[in-house]
């Protein structure tokens, strides 16, 4: 426990809270890298995922490609890219985007695939165009799964962004690697704590967003994931007796 | 179905068992410190030579080993032993007889308060600091220490050949160095207090490797922390800045030997270090890193060239 107390004391030290190497600056860099990487990954992967989800084509290829990309060792990729483009954020950013794409892509196409075919047939029956089906049915209904994909991509990037520092790009990993290499475990732990706090904060934000994006009609009509008994559809979980006591 | 499954499982189990046995057997024979090892210093005339888990250190150990063998000594090679915390106790207890070390770091291991600075002072202080039973032979001219390097163009354009010249440079100086450099006495704090130079440190975590050199040559950094024994310095025409104030602790190659190494054997080891210059060590390292030669081949070629294998 002493090490933890030391780490919190390190974080509270005013000397570590200002300047280019201060915690706020490093935290800002870290958060910025995470946001940029996830946004770029989303811009690339969401349209591709929607296309796969809507047409049902290319799924096998997408699964194979993104599965392979997940297996890429990110540190190796960072050094390899840095040897081509030099030190700085470019190389790690490319690696983070590669890391984030599989989750976002999976979220996008599985969101579309999860839409009940009957709903789509109904949309077509009432005269919706393909474009309307995509924008008015599939996108809103698939949104919770897409946000879930972006959420897990963000979590992976926020943890991995610690390696930006190995090619001189800063971020919270600065404390972790400097501490590791100079046996200063207090500094290392302090850096880790801030990364964890950031990850938890982002998780909270995403879990709220994920709830908010569920279309109102869907929340009313389908089993909710909350634990409240009242919300459970009687046919599945409740006996007629308990239903009667409500 | 069940039999097929069982068979499959047995095969897997068998494979795992064989794999484990092979792995364990491998461990047993390569464990440098296992007491059952008959070739360890238990028997009279065999000298056990160790090395760090560092390719350059292994090459130096191999130089000693082959030079000793050429003079009729029996040696047992126990290379790639982790860190000082692991191998120094083994040296002290007499399980290893010869170990190539580096003066500054070894001195700091035994005496953290020591203030010796120049290579000579450090060597003298080290001799005094070593525990009973261990002797430091004469240090080689070759060293493997942190050094600040600039490109040849930068050095010529700004007339900078020494760390003391840096304070006349008008632009901003960015230093590419391993992450720990930022807090070392010879890092930015030392450059400021000893040479009056302001540098911003950019961590590059490849131990002064190719990425550090690339950052230097493409101008992302003006200074780079690279080990003096690295072949990259000559390969890229870099200029190593002099350190007139001895800010960086010297790390000359020094063999540490146990009492089992008699004066004749000491002379053999001394004869190797007497010829091992800084550029020699760079070339030996280059053969390992660039040409991918084994330490045995590198050592044999070098000793033959220097006439140290003639009995």
**Segment B221-244, tens digit of pLDDT:** 999 999 999 999 989 999 999 999
* CATH of the domain spanning A2-214: 1.10.3720.10
- Domains of chain B in sequence order: 46-143+251-305 (3.40.190.10), 146-240 (3.40.190.120)
Query: Would you call B198 an interface residue with chain A, using a CB distance cutoff of 8 Å?
Result: no
**Residues of chain A above pLDDT 70, percent:** 88
Q: What is the pLDDT of residue B138?
A: 94
Mind spelling out the 3-state secondary structure of A121-167?
HHHHHCCCCHHHHHHHHHHHHHHHHHHHHHHHHHHHHHHHHHHHHHE
B162-200 in b/e burial notation, b at 16+ Cβ within 10 A? bbbbbeebeeebbbbbbbbbbbbebbbebbeebbebebe
B16-25 in b/e burial notation, b at 16+ Cβ within 10 A? eeeeeeeeee
Instruction: Name the A residues in 101-160 with CB < 8 Å from any B CB.
Output: none
pLDDT beyond 60 at A91:
yes
d(CA A37, CA A30): 11
- The residue of A88, A89, A165, A167 whose CB has the most chain B CBs within 10 angstroms, and thus the best one to mutate to test that interface, is A167
Between these two residues, A220 and B22, which has the higher pLDDT value? A220
What's the gap in Å between the CA of B231 and the closest CA on chain A? Answer: 18
d(CA A229, CA A222): 14
Mind spelling out the 3-state secondary structure of chain B?
CHHHHHHHHHHHHHHHHHHHHHHHHHHHHHCCCCCCCCCCCCCCCEEEEEEECCHHHHHHHHHHHHHHHHCCCEEEEEEEECCHHHHHHHHHCCCCCEEEEEHHHHHHHHCCCCCCCCHHHHHHHHHHHCCCCEEECCCCCCECCEEEEEEHHHHHHHCCCEHHHHHHCCCCEEEEECHHHHHCCCCHHHHHHHHCCCEEEEEECCCCCHHHHHHHHCCCCCEEEEECCCCHHHHCCEEECECCCCCCCCCEEEEEEECCCCHHHHHHHHHHHHHCCHHHHHHHHHHHHCCCCCHHHHHHHHHHHCCCCCC
Please name the member of B180, B200, B215 whose beta carbon is closest to the beta carbon of A87: B215
Q: Where are the alpha helices (DSSP H) in chain A?
A: 2-12, 23-55, 59-70, 74-85, 90-113, 117-125, 130-132, 139-160, 173-181, 185-212, 216-221, 234-237, 240-245
Please name the member of A79, A87, A181 whose beta carbon is closest to the beta carbon of B180: A181
Ranked by mean pLDDT, the top range of B2-11, B37-46, B271-280 is B271-280
Q: Are B41 and B260 in contact (CB under 8 A)?
A: yes
What is the model's pTM? 0.76
**What is the mean predicted confidence (pLDDT) over A110-139?**
93
Give the range among A135-144, B2-11, B43-52, B144-153 with minimum mean pLDDT. B2-11
- The average confidence (pLDDT) of chain B is 86
Those residues with Cβ within 8 angstroms of residue B308's Cβ, 6 or more apart along the chain or in another chain: B67, B70, B271, B272, B275
- Where residue B7 falls among pLDDT bands split at 50, 70, 90? low
pLDDT beyond 70 at A242:
no
The answer to whether the Cα torsion of B244, B250, B254, B257 is positive or negative is: positive
The CB-based long-range contact list for A62-65 (8 Å cut-off, 24+ gap) reads A62/A105, A62/A109
Query: Would you call B179 an interface residue with chain A, using a CB distance cutoff of 8 Å?
Result: yes
Of A81, A87, A79, A89, give the one whose Cα is nearest residue B216: A87
**Segment A24-83, tens digit of pLDDT:** 999 999 999 999 999 999 999 999 999 999 998 888 888 888 888 888 899 999 999 999
Rg of chain A's alpha carbons, rounded to an integer? 23
Please name the member of B203, B210, B221 whose beta carbon is closest to the beta carbon of A165: B203
Cβ atoms within 10 A of the Cβ of B4, count?
A: 8
Q: Do B176 and A168 touch (CB under 8 A)?
A: yes
Query: Closest residue of B to A83, CA-based?
Result: B211
* Helix, strand or coil, per DSSP, at residue A1: coil
**What is the mean predicted confidence (pLDDT) over B1-22?**
52
- Where residue B76 falls among pLDDT bands split at 50, 70, 90? very high
**What is the mean predicted confidence (pLDDT) over B46-74?**
94
Q: Do B203 and A180 touch (CB under 8 A)?
A: no
Query: Closest residue of A to B175, CA-based?
Result: A168
Give the pairing type, strands B223-227 and B146-151.
Answer: antiparallel
**What is the mean predicted confidence (pLDDT) over A160-187?**
92
**Contacts B200 to A, Cβ<8 Å:** 20
Q: Are B151 and B238 in contact (CB under 8 A)?
A: yes
Q: Do A87 and B214 touch (CB under 8 A)?
A: yes
Those residues with Cβ within 8 angstroms of residue B107's Cβ, 6 or more apart along the chain or in another chain: B114, B116, B122, B125, B126, B129, B249
Of B238, B234, B224, give the one whose Cα is nearest residue B282: B234
Q: Write the ipTM.
A: 0.74
**Segment B91-108, tens digit of pLDDT:** 999 999 999 999 998 998
**Both tokens assigned to B64:** 């000693």
**Segment A194-219, tens digit of pLDDT:** 999 999 999 999 999 988 888 877 76
Q: Do A178 and B206 touch (CB under 8 A)?
A: no
Of B211, B231, B71, give the one whose Cα is nearest residue B142: B231
């Amino acid at each position: 426990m002493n090490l933890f107390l030391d780490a919190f004391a390190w974080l509270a030290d005013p000397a570590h809270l200002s300047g280019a190497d201060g915690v706020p600056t490093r935290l800002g860099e870290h958060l910025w890298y995470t946001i940029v990487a996830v946004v770029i990954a989303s811009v690339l992967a969401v349209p591709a995922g929607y296309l796969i989800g809507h047409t049902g084509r290319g799924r096998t290829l997408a699964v194979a490609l993104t599965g392979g990309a997940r297996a890429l060792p990110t540190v190796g990729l960072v050094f390899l890219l840095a040897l081509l483009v030099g030190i700085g954020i470019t190389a790690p950013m490319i690696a983070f985007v590669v890391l984030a794409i599989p989750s976002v892509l999976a979220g996008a196409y599985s969101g579309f695939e999860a839409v009940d075919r009957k709903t789509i047939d109904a949309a077509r029956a009432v005269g919706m165009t393909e474009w309307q089906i995509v924008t008015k049915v599939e996108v809103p209904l698939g949104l919770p799964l897409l946000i879930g994909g972006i959420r897990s991509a963000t979590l992976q990037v926020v943890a991995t962004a610690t390696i930006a520092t190995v090619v001189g790009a800063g971020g919270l990993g600065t404390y972790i690697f400097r501490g590791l290499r100079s046996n200063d475990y207090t500094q290392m732990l302090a850096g880790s704590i801030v990364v964890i706090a950031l990850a938890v904060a982002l998780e909270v934000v995403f879990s709220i967003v994920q709830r908010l994006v569920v279309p109102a009609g869907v929340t009313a009509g389908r089993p909710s994931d909350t634990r409240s008994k009242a919300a459970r559809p009687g046919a599945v979980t409740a006996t007629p007796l308990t239903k009667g006591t409500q | 179905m069940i039999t097929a499954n069982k068979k499959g499982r047995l095969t897997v189990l068998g494979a795992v068992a064989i794999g484990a046995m092979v792995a364990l057997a491998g461990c047993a024979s390569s464990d440098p410190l296992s007491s059952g090892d008959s070739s360890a210093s238990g028997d009279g005339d065999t000298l056990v030579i160790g090395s760090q888990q560092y390719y350059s250190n292994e090459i130096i150990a191999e130089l000693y080993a082959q030079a000793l063998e050429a003079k009729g000594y029996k040696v047992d090679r126990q290379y790639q032993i982790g860190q000082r915390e692991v191998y120094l106790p083994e040296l002290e207890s007499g399980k290893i007889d010869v170990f190539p070390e580096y003066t500054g770091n070894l001195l700091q291991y035994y005496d953290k308060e020591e203030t010796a600075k120049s290579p000579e002072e450090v060597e003298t202080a080290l001799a005094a600091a070593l525990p009973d039973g261990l002797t430091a032979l004469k240090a080689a001219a070759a060293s493997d220490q942190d050094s600040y390097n600039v490109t040849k163009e930068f050095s010529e354009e700004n007339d900078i050949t020494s760390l003391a010249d840096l304070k006349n440079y008008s632009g901003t100086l960015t230093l590419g160095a391993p992450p720990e450099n930022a807090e070392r006495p010879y890092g930015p704090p030392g450059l400021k207090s000893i040479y009056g130079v302001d540098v911003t440190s950019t961590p590059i975590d490849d131990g002064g490797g190719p990425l550090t050199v690339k950052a230097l040559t493409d101008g992302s950094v003006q200074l780079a922390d690279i080990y003096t024994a690295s072949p990259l310095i000559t390969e890229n025409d870099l200029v190593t800045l002099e350190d007139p104030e001895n800010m960086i602790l010297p790390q000359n190659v020094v063999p540490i030997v146990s009492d089992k190494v008699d004066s004749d054997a000491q002379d053999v080891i001394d004869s190797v270090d007497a010829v091992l210059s800084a550029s020699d060590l760079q070339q030996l390292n280059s053969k390992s890193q660039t040409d991918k030669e084994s330490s045995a081949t590198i050592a044999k070629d070098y000793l033959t060239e220097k006439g140290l294998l003639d009995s």
